[in-house]
Amino acid sequence: MKTLREAVSGDTVKVVKLNGEGPVKRRIMDMGITRGVEIFIRKVAPLGDPIEVAVRGYELSLRKADAEMIEVEMQH
């Protein structure tokens, strides 16, 4: 299973599972990132931090550490 951290610019992925717990998981969910949601990867910074994504019509920046907690599958 891939994490959002491994996705590259231009990919569209679907959230399969959120790892982590407590405040971290809640922060991710507060951004609208929940199971089954599609995420479009807009841009990945050269060192992988931050990752700019579009979710539910919003544009967000995710930290690398947060992106590693989001398990995704590729959409075709």
> How many independent structural domains does the chain possess?
1
Which tokens hold the place of 43?
């841009």
Question: Nearest 5 degrees, angle CA 14-CA 18-CA 22?
Answer: 150
pLDDT of residue 75: 86
* Residue range 27-69, pLDDT digits in tens: 999 999 999 999 999 999 988 799 999 999 999 999 999 999 9
* Residue range 10-28, pLDDT digits in tens: 999 999 999 988 999 999 9
Q: Which domain holds residue 13?
A: 2-74
State the CATH number of the domain containing residue 7.
2.30.30.90
From CA 10, how far away is CA 33, in angstroms rounded? 18
- Helix count and strand count (H, E) for the chain: 2, 6
